[in-house]
Amino acid sequence: MSTLDKAHTSSRPVPNPKRSLITRLHMGTGVVVGVIFAALAYWALRNSLLTYTDKVADPLSPHDNNIVLLGAMFAWSIGFMVGIGAFIGPWRWMIGKDLTDEEILYLAGDGQGVKRYFKYCTDHKVVGIQYLVGVMTLLGVGGTMAMMIRTNLARPGGHFITATVYNSLVGLHGITMIIAMIIVATGPFGNYVMPIMIGAYDMAFPRLNALSWWVLFTAIPVLCSAWFLGGIPTGWTAYAPLSIQAGPGMNAFIATIIIFAVSTAVAGANITTTVIAMRTKGMKWNRVPIFVIGSTISVALAIPAFPTFMVSMIMTALDRTYNTGFFDANMGGSGWLYSNLFWIMGHPEVYVILIPGVAALMEIVPVFVRKPLFSYTAAVMGFAGIAGLSILVWAHHMYMAGWAPSLNGPFMVTTEMISIPTGLLFLVLIGTMWRGKPWMKLPMLSVFAFLWDFMIGGITGIYLSDVPADSYLHGSMFVTAHFHFTLMGAALTGAIGGLAYWYPKMTGRMLHERAGYISFWMTQIGFNVLFFGMFMAGAEGQPRRVMDYAAFFRNSNLVSTIGAYTVGMGMIILLWAVIHSWTKGKIAPMNPWGAKTLEWTVPYPVPLTNFDELPVITSDPYGYGKGK
Amino acid sequence: MADHSAEELAPTPGERTSRFFKRADVQQTTLFFILWTALFVVLGLVFYPRWMPTIMSVEMKSAEAIMIWFTVISAPVAAIVLAVATTAFMNRHRGDTPPPDGPAIRTNGPVVAVWTVTSLVFALVAIVWGLTEMNAQAVAAGKDAKSAIVVEVTGSQWVWTFNYPAQGIETHELNLPVGVPVTFNVKSADVNHSFWPVQLGVKIDANAQVTTVIHSIPTKVGHLDVKCAELCGLYHAYMETTGEIQSASDFDAWVLAQGGHKA
């Protein structure tokens, strides 16, 4: 426990709701109950299915085995939530009671120090830190997988890992990173900082907030279990019929997505409600900090998008367990149905990832160039335009599927229209920089990196949206390089900028600056080398998701691998900086950057209810600058 | 200010423009704009011809042209963003205290309008170009439907099989006569694959139970790589074969050697 947390602990006497079950439950009891539930479900399902089939036929048929595994995975998730006490509140409501005031204070983690991070804690600041640690863990795991992929691809004929492991790595790297990137900004900053930015005591539904995090937490072991069940052969897109044919590891993927979809739905409802209903007095829509706008649009876009992913996974599970044949052409189904459902989620999802990262940078630029945000309206229009168009472009992922060739034209039109709102985002950033003297701190560096990376990602996206060019590039390494430039180069860079920016508020300390700079340059240079190599490989004609390639592609792949190792080292340095600074960094002043948003008006540790008295807002937070 | 004459207080548009371009930051931005534009133009003109395989079909030519010219067209747009950023970077502020406040520019209507219209125009250029190319390819395919040589392509884990019904042969290598339009009817025996004759620059998924179709017009004799561009399980990486675009006489000889006959 750091000294700062001790100060937090001693601020008030610990609430002591006598004999309440709530005080005895935590992550540990959650795990125990979860494992018991999973074991019971496994045992019960297995035995009941064995009575149906011939007992001699043990082991179970693949179909029955899928039922058993899926049942055990969901039972784990539900059991964990029971064991951590998520259902105590709803149960009280069922029997016509409610939690006592003492219990509510206890749930908020009041005066419990570090222990509250391992409990069903309703304080949005605790949830924010939980998300931050969760995101960093997922990025670390996904990054390690990326290093293994690049190691295998360092030279042709590389057999560092087997084909099964390689294919699993490709899929699990993908889904791990997608999950991490969906929550990378809205998780930590959306939960920790955003309620303070809008001048709220907490989120609208504090218990749902805890629910969204812990439900997501239960998905992590489920996802990891894929390794022990033989991996997944499908990539993160999980196309049918390959997914129907896949082994038991596929169940882990299916269960993860369904659990994750529940988590995002809960979090999305919570964040949108909070922003709509809990802004402090005077915070009209044109005075809301742009990060709040961006995050809200992002989660609002996720609310309709993720259910289709969940549905597609439920249908895949049914195909795999009861032979429903939704996606099996031999049974009258269609793999195209799956691809449609998947991409109806899949394309909005990339903007769910991108928008909060850009919005974080838009929050940063005015502070570091000491100028107002250039055209707040254009920023909002940009986000809204992207969100609106993004639900009409999904089939550009299916140009070469043969599904509906006559729709390729219309989808090309909608896709290329997205460059207009995207252009507005660039305009807002450079307009704010124009005639300013940017203060070269870590958060500001990310803005420069973003402009370069997203420019490359954007332009290459224009070729890919063009059907005749895509007919060459589709499914090649070029596509992989393109979306890494947007998701990693743009969105992750934005989130790292946000981390450097809000780190002092979230930990009370400054992020180690020197390590931050070294990490920044290594990551950015390595990243560009890595994916320029991949653009070359793609242009040369190397398909994606291949474990091996012809000698012809050796140079471009070697370049990529060298770049990848550089990124890996840069990220390890960043990780070190984050961990080191958390306990040993320079103590941060209340407002180290001289920003005008509300989160910088509260001290660290942030009081339980953020504000003693809610502030009244009279202008937007971008009132920098001398008169024109 | 009191001494200034009325003309100086209200400069003409011409004077304002010339003053604007005399400002140090504007000159700096202009310089970087030119440099970035040049860089992207060179990148577009060099990168794709250098790295993409030999152009061996009409479709491949159009794909490469789009990549080159879209890069060149978008060069000035990319350059203006990067030029402003570079200028800001050159004028950066160091130290542990924030820089002095800059001018309080909240927005600039004409700039936002010009920016939006410009990006709309660029989007329209890309859209019209793409649609025109698509249309040209569709028209060509329709026109060539009678004269085209037909190849039935079957993807199965992890082999490509090519059936030439008119020639009565089935092989695992894809040979085609130069200059003759070809129609690929593609299907899968199991999971999804994607048929990609690389140097022809076309691609279509292979699905079970349905036939998907693409056309191409080979224009150059030479080596052809065929790959699978859709993850199809364990040995996806090795689901590849080769072939050749041949002269008409070489192709006929090859067909006969395979036990087939002239169409």
How much of chain B, in percent, has pLDDT values that exceed 90? 82
Q: What is the pLDDT of residues B187-230, one digit of tens each?
A: 999 999 999 999 999 999 999 999 999 999 999 999 999 999 99
Rounded-to-10 torsion of CA A487, A493, A494, A497: 160
Q: Is the pLDDT of residue A5 over 80?
A: no
Give the pLDDT band of residue B16 (cuts 50, 70, 90): confident
Whether B90 has its CB under 8 Å from any CB of chain A: the answer is no
CB pairs under 8 A between A and B: 289
How high is the pLDDT of residue A52?
Answer: 63
Residue A61: per-residue pLDDT = 85
Residue A607 in tokens = 């009081």
Interface test with B, best of A462, A472, A524, A586 (most B CBs within 10 A): A472
Q: Which of A77, A72, A409, A493 is nearest to A260 (CA)?
A: A77
pLDDT digits (tens, 9 = 90+) for A380-390: 999 999 999 99
Average pLDDT over residues B142-164: 93
pLDDT of residue B1: 46
A113: nearest Cα among A101, A136, A129: A129
**Above 90 in pLDDT, residue B10?**
no
Tell me the torsion sign for CA atoms B107, B112, B113, B114: positive
In tens, the pLDDT along A570-600 reads 999 999 999 999 999 999 999 999 999 999 9
Indicate the helix (H) or strand (E) that contains B152.
Answer: strand B149-156
pLDDT at A1: 35
Does A167 contact chain B (CB < 8 Å)?
yes
pLDDT at A521 exceeding the cut of 90: yes
pLDDT digits (tens, 9 = 90+) for A603-615: 988 999 999 899 9
pLDDT at A22: 86
Q: Is the Cβ of A65 closer than 8 Å to some Cβ of chain B? A: no
| Neighboring chain A residues of B77 at a CB cutoff of 8 Å | 423
What is the mean pLDDT of the segment spanning B137-158?
Answer: 92
pLDDT, tens only, A339-370: 999 999 999 999 999 999 999 999 999 999 99
Token match 């569709």: residue?
B138
Nearest CA in chain B to A412: B127
Question: Which A residues, 452 through 511, put their C-beta within 8 Å of a C-beta on chain B?
Answer: 452, 455, 459, 462-463, 465-469, 471-476
Count other Cβ atoms within 10 Å, centred on residue B179: 13
Closest B-chain CA to A417 = B123
Q: Does any CB of chain A come closer than 8 Å to the CB of residue B192?
A: yes
How far is residue A129's CA from residue A73's CA, in Å, rounded to a whole number? Answer: 26
Nearest CA-CA distance, residue B33 and chain A, Å: 13
pLDDT the model gives residue A56: 62
Q: Does the beta carbon of B171 lie under 8 angstroms from any beta carbon of chain A?
A: no
Contact A526, A143 (CB under 8 A): no
Cα dihedral A317, A318, A324, A327 sign: negative
Question: DSSP class of residue A426?
Answer: H
Distances in whole angstroms, Cα of residue A147 to Cα of each of A150, A486, A565, A566: 5, 19, 7, 10
Strand boundaries in A31-73, DSSP class E: none
For the cut 60, the answer to whether the pLDDT of residue A113 exceeds it is: yes
Chain A residue at shortest CA distance from B108: A375
Give B19's pLDDT tier (boundaries 50, 70, 90).
confident
Check residue A21 and give its pLDDT: 86
Written as one letter, the residue type at A60 is L
B 26-55 residues with CB < 8 A to A: 47-48, 51-53
Asked if pLDDT for residue A152 goes beyond 60, the answer is yes
| Strand pairing class (B174-177; B241-246) | parallel
- In whole angstroms, what is the distance from residue A299 CA to residue A302 CA? 5
State how far the Cα of A189 lies from the Cα of A139, in Å rounded to an integer.
16
Q: What is the mean pLDDT of residues A56-73?
A: 86
* Touching B: A residues 575-594, CB under 8 Å: 593-594
Q: What's the order of all strands across the beta sheet hosting B169-171?
A: B169-171, B159-164, B149-156, B182-188, B212-216
Cβ(A222)–Cβ(A254) below 8 Å: no
By percentage, how much of chain A surpasses pLDDT 70?
96
Question: Smallest CA–CA separation between A328 and chain B, in Å?
Answer: 8
Residue B3: per-residue pLDDT: 52
Q: Which two tokens stand for residue A156?
A: 């042709």
At residue A628 the predicted structure's pLDDT band, cuts being 50, 70 and 90, is very low
Q: How confident is the model at residue A58 (pLDDT cuts 50, 70, 90)?
A: low
Which pLDDT band, with edges at 50, 70 and 90, does B15 fall under? Answer: confident
Q: Does the structure show a pLDDT above 60 at B259?
A: yes
Return mean pLDDT, chain A.
Answer: 93
Q: Tokens 């991996």 correspond to what residue?
A: A231
The confidence score (pLDDT) of residue A54 equals 60
- Closest A-chain CA to B215: A471
Is the CB of residue B129 less than 8 Å away from at least one CB of chain A?
A: yes
- What's the one-letter identity of residue A336? W
Long-range contacts formed by B142-147: CB under 8 A, 24+ apart: B144/B181, B144/B183, B144/B215, B144/B217, B145/B183, B147/B180, B147/B181
Burial of A618 (0-12, 13-18, 19+ CB in 10 A): exposed
Whether A57 shows a pLDDT value over 80: the answer reads no
Phi, psi for A248 (deg, rounded to 5)? -65, -25
Lowest mean pLDDT among A421-425, B93-97, B167-171: B93-97
Q: Check residue B21 and give its pLDDT.
A: 84
ipTM of the complex: 0.94
pLDDT band of A504, cuts 50, 70, 90: very high
Write down the mean pLDDT value for chain B: 92
Say if residues A367 and A433 touch (Cβ distance below 8 Å).
Answer: no
**Whether the predicted pLDDT of A626 surpasses 80:** no
The string of pLDDT tens digits covering residues A269-312 is 999 999 999 999 999 999 999 999 999 999 999 999 999 999 99
Weakest-pLDDT range from A55-69, A486-500, B208-222: A55-69
